[in-house]
A and B are shown apart, each in its own frame.
Chain A
Amino acid sequence: MATRSGSTASSNGRRLSALSLIAASATLLSACGGSSGSTAATASSAGTSSAATSAAAPATSAAAGTSSAAAASSAPATSAAATSAATGGKPVTLTWWHNSTADPGKSYFQGVADAYTKAHPNVTIKILPIQNEQLDTKLALGLESGNPPSIIQSNGGGKLAAYVKAGKIQDLTAATSSWISSIGATGSGWQVGGKVYGIPFSSGVVGFWYNKDQFTKAGITTPPATWADLITDVGKLKTAGETPIAIGAKDKWPTAFYWDYLAIRECSKSILDTAIATMKITDPCWTKAGTDLQQLIAAKPFQTGFLGTPAQTGAGSSAGLVANDKAAMELMGHWDPGVFSGLTSNKKFEDNIGWFPFPNVDGAPGVPGAALGGGDGFSCTAKAPPECADFLKFLMSKDNQTQLGSIGFGLPTVAGAEVGLKDPNLITLLKFRNSAPLVQNYLDTTFGVNVGNALNDAVVGLLAGTVKPDGIAKAVADAAASQ
């Protein structure tokens, strides 16, 4: 009995100390939450110095960035925000949530923030990189909280529209009017009702990333230009003993790329627009997209166990399979080279990777050469200080955009910034994007999270053989009815 009562006493002690720990951390939390907390400033400056030492590139951009910001503020078209920022007004803290948890993106953003705060000493930028799959959840909670972030990652489309409808996002139309034209048509995905609610800093299109050696080995000299060619090439690759296509069906969204692309091949622009506005996909062209996809599925092009394969985590993911010579191609966005390089130790692998656009479907009534894509952008939240818009302007300066391309982090949206791109594949991809008569935003993003997720689920079902081509329309209709 003595031991027991002894241990009870000690566990009480532990509980008390645990409580005091909780209390202490609560105090810390509230200190960080305050907009002008000195703890926050030190925390961000600590992060700053490490990023600055780790990457030499941001340091150069700091100098370039400063000069461009100075030039901007002396220009006649200066916005109210820029003036107040330049006059060194009262201390302001911007919290910035983005999804670049790894380099080069992480250091790049840190470098841009450092350059901005150097030119505007009254502004503190607190950066919180959030893993992409967590971002939506965290954002929903963060925007509800009393202390929302100021700058948030936003991929436009239905999700952004929902936030706008809820009054969570700042209208940037006036603040960006002087420079919004620099990003051309790519900005349209971040506009709601003709007003600007976000700015894409990188915009790309989905296409096939392929292993050149494996294609050569299978006797494929030119990448497939039509859907029928692709299916033929799948056969050739299988004969050569390769896994033709890697797909990350566990994460669902990669499967939707196939169906989305086939849908924009099969459906005309007016049908697409009506469907997006009404969230009803009743035209037979949508079912045709499903039957087209079934032709590919019937050729069994995917890796073993593809239903359980993640898209980007680990060497066994679809990107990992391509990066490690285990699969010949994957349909993926412009960010794939960055993912590849993190999943392989083979340095020469980059020379062996090529890119080709999603093939056309012979005789299909959609816009030929239309691209499926989307981008990464930032929005300012409703209560963010005016410095937010000013910071976005700085982020979108031609210098910063050029650097974005030159470090291989993304595809700049500002005209003229593409000169920084080095990767020949990205240059090909950008040419395709710029010449595409239509760049359709990912349909799951366009339809919003609820319908979008139901759509992705249904496409996985099509791949697994449990959903028929016309079942996708039903899934979308059911989900749309539930909201």
Chain B
Amino acid sequence: MRQPLSDPIMTSTEAATTGATAARASQARAAARRPRTGGARKKAELTLFIGPAFILYAAFAIAPIVLAFYYSVYDWDGITPLTHYIGLANFRRAFHDPVFLESVRHNFYIVFLTVLVQIPIALGIASLLNAKLRGRAALRTIFFAPYVLSEVITAVIWQLILQPDALADKVLQSVGLGSLVQGWLSDPKVALWTLFVVASWKYIGFGIILLLAGLQGVPAELTEAAEVDGASRWKVFRHIKLPLLGPTLRILAFLSIIGSLQLFDLVYILTGGGPINSTSTMVVYLTDHGFHRFQFGYGSAIAVILFLISFVFSLAYQRFVLRRDTEGALTSAAR
């Protein structure tokens, strides 16, 4: 049971890190090997295999992005024809709306908390689960299980747990911590932190599994050699395991940050962005204004802002943080 659990994950980590470059490399390799013969066949193969995915990607990713840019410069209610061009007024309005700015701030709180709290906890649990202990497979499954649940189910369950006088409060009271009871979802000062806890519960399993896969990739010879040399467990972790986990950690941070910027489902169901916008995120704000208030032009402008934030961040992250990892992958693939 242990192998199947970690193996596919390993593949997916690798796929994530090397991704596009590997594809490019294999294309180049193929072209070099067969310059003339089978060129048409190759083309047909490429069309057959890439075509459908490309069509889906273009229709459901590229086209909506382009359309959002287009709609974002119109005052459009989604029903009447697209005639009222207003330039950048939607963007100006967004940057002057305190509720939107608050939503952006909430997203960044979640981003920082995820990187500074959630990932270290995931790393700690992954290290524990990497040790030889009884029932390890069962424990791993337990930690990973919340990630498998759909967001909607998670949110509904937690909504029931977090109602006043419901499970969360009862548990606290029964262990004598009744004074800690809060309006988990109803107190504007508390609700955002509650959401972060629920989101962590939901997504931490993903980080744990990624890091566990990374830890298993650390060759036993290295740690054994270090132990023979008298390195403490902390030193083994700090100077051997942690550096070797670098690529995994960087990719995990990347995925977590993008996920936090786009946080929606849990918030929407648990609080709807309330009370009084205290948990609103960019996508919740977008939904509220775009769909509920029929301001599709304005909603598109918010989508564009979110896209640009994510896009610029991704490029910068690839350029400055992931470069080492991808370059390494490129050389090994070209070999």
Give me the interface of A with B, judged by CB distance under 8 Å.
Answer: 3-4, 7-8, 15, 19, 22, 136-137, 140, 143-144, 162-163, 165-166, 168, 249-252, 303-310, 314, 316, 449-450, 453-454, 457, 460-461, 464, 466, 479, 482-483
B79 within 8 A of A: yes
Q: Who on chain B is nearest to A15 by CB?
A: B53
Q: With A143-B79, A310-B159 given, can you name 12 additional A-B contacts, CB distance below 8 Å? A: A3-B7, A19-B52, A136-B291, A144-B79, A165-B80, A249-B274, A250-B185, A308-B184, A453-B292, A464-B275, A479-B293, A483-B75
Whether A460 and B295, one on each chain, are in contact in the complex, defined by CB atoms closer than 8 angstroms, is no
Chain B residues close to A by CB (< 8 Å):
7-8, 10-11, 14, 52-53, 56, 75, 77-80, 93, 159-160, 163-166, 183-188, 191, 271-272, 274-277, 288, 291-295, 298
Contact yes or no, A162 B276, CB < 8 A: no
B127 to chain A, nearest CB (A): 25
Does B275 lie within 8 Å of A249, measured CB to CB?
A: yes
- Please list 23 pairs of residues, one from A and one from B, whose beta carbons are closer than 8 Å in the complex, sorted by A's number: A4-B11, A15-B53, A19-B52, A136-B292, A140-B79, A143-B79, A162-B77, A304-B165, A305-B163, A305-B184, A307-B186, A308-B163, A308-B185, A308-B275, A316-B160, A449-B294, A453-B288, A453-B292, A457-B276, A460-B274, A466-B276, A479-B293, A482-B93
Contacts of B11 in A (CB 8 A): 4, 7-8
- Residues of the A chain whose Cβ atoms lie less than 8 Å from the Cβ of B298: 482
B56: nearest residue on chain A (CB-CB)? Answer: A22
In the bound complex, what is the Cα–Cα distance between A84 and B166 (angstroms)? 59
Output the least CB separation between B66 and chain A (Å). 18
- Find the residue from B93, B163, B291, B295 having the highest chain A CB count within 10 A: B163
Q: Flag if A304 contacts B183 (CB, 8 Å).
A: yes
Q: Is the CB of B186 within 8 A of A482?
A: no
Give the interface SS of chain A, mostly helix, strand, loop or mixed.
helix
- Asked if A303 contacts B188 (CB within 8 A), the reply is no
A460 touches B276 (CB 8 A): yes
Q: Which residues of A contact B186 (CB under 8 A)?
A: 250, 304-309
The listed residue (A7, A22, A305, A450) touching B293 by CB distance below 8 A is: A450
Q: How far is the CB of B80 from chain A (nearest CB, A)?
A: 5
Distance (whole angstroms) from the CB of B223 to the closest CB of chain A: 23
Does A449 contact B276, Cβ atoms closer than 8 Å?
Answer: no
Contact between A307 and B164, CB atoms less than 8 A apart: no
Q: A301 CA to B30 CA in the complex, in Å?
A: 74
- Complex-state Cα separation, A466 to B93, whole angstroms: 22
Write out the residue numbers on chain B whose beta carbons fall within 8 Å of the beta carbon of A165: 79-80
B275-A140 in contact (CB<8A) = no
Which one of B75, B184, B276, B298 has the greatest number of beta carbons of chain A within 10 Å? B276
Q: Which of A19, A306, A483 contacts B295 (CB 8 A)?
A: A483
- Among B75, B187, B191, B293, contact of A449 (Cβ-Cβ < 8 Å): B293
Q: Distance in Å from the Cβ of A321 to the closest Cβ of chain B? A: 10
The answer to whether A314 touches B292 (Cβ under 8 A) is: no
Rounded to whole Å, the gap between the CB of B187 and the closest CB of chain A is 7
B307 to chain A, nearest CB (A): 21
- CB neighbours of B160 from chain A (8 A): 314, 316
* In contact, A461 and B164 (Cβ under 8 angstroms): no
Write the nearest CB–CB distance from A438 to chain B, whole angstroms: 28
* B166 contact set on A, CB distance < 8 A: 316
- Which B residues lie within 8 Å of A306 (CB)? 186
Chain B residue contacts of A22, Cβ below 8 A: 56
Determine which residue in B159, B160, B185, B275 has the highest number of CB atoms from chain A within 10 A of its CB, and name it.
Answer: B275
A20's closest neighbor in chain B, by CB? B52
- Shortest CB-to-CB span from B289 to chain A, Å, is 9
Known: A3-B7, A305-B183, A306-B186. A162 touches B294 (CB 8 A): yes
Chain B residues near A304 (CB-CB < 8 A): 164-165, 183, 186
Q: Which residues of A contact B291 (CB under 8 A)?
A: 136-137, 140
Q: Which residues of B have CB within 8 Å of A143? A: 79
User: Which of chain A's residues has its CB closest to B89's CB?
Assistant: A482
Minimum Cβ distance to chain B for residue A316 (Å) = 4
Docked pose: A307 CA to B278 CA in angstroms? 11
Specify the chain A residue showing the minimal Cβ separation from B3.
A3
A15 contacts which chain B residues (CB < 8 A)?
Answer: 53
Tell me the nearest residue of chain A to B75, going by C-beta.
A483
| Cβ contact within 8 Å between A307 and B274 | yes
Q: Which residues of B contact A303 (CB under 8 A)?
A: 164
Given the complex of chains A and B, what is the CA–CA distance between A306 and B191 in angstroms?
Answer: 13
Q: Do the beta carbons of A163 and B183 come within 8 Å of each other?
A: no
Q: How far apart are B230's CB and chain A's nearest CB, in angstroms?
A: 35
A168's partner among B10, B79, B294 (CB-CB below 8 A) is: B79
Which of B53, B77, B293 has the most C-beta atoms of chain A within 10 angstroms of its own C-beta?
Answer: B293
State in angstroms the CA–CA spacing of A309 and B186 once bound together. Answer: 7
User: In the bound complex, do residue A166 and residue B80 qualify as a contact, i.e. CB atoms below 8 Å apart?
Assistant: yes
Complex alpha-carbon distance, A8 and B272, angstroms: 40
* Cβ-closest chain B residue relative to A461: B276
Q: Is the CB of A140 within 8 A of B80?
A: no
Contact across chains for B8 and A308 when beta carbons are under 8 A apart: no
Known A449-B294, A450-B294, A482-B295: A316·B78 in contact at CB below 8 Å: no
User: A310 to B186, alpha carbons, bound, how many Å?
Assistant: 11
Chain A CB within 10 A, most for which of B160, B166, B277, B291: B291
Closest to B291 in A: A137
CA distance in complex: A250, B184 (Å): 13
| Nearest chain B residue, comparing its CB with the CB of A466 | B276
Residues of A within 8 A of B77 (CB): 162, 166, 483
A483 to B183, CA, bound (A): 36
Contact flag A307-B183 (CB < 8 Å), given A4-B11, A19-B52: yes
Partner of A308 from B10, B183, B293 at Cβ < 8 Å: B183
Q: Are A305 and B164 in contact (CB under 8 A)?
A: yes
Q: What residues of chain B lie closer than 8 Å to A3, measured between beta carbons? A: 7
> CA–CA, A8 to B8, complex, Å?
10
Contacts of A316 in B (CB 8 A): 160, 163-164, 166
- Kindly name the residue among A7, A307, A450 whose own CB sees the greatest number of chain B CB atoms within 10 A: A307
Bound Cα distance A249, B271 (Å): 10
Q: How far is the CA of A3 from the CA of B187 in the complex (A)?
A: 51
Contacts of B274 in A (CB 8 A): 249-250, 252, 307-308, 460
Chain A residues, CB < 8 A from B93: 482
Partner of A7, one of B7, B53, B191, B277: B7
| Residue contact B164 to A450, C-beta cutoff 8 Å | no
CA distance A454 to B184 in the complex (A): 25
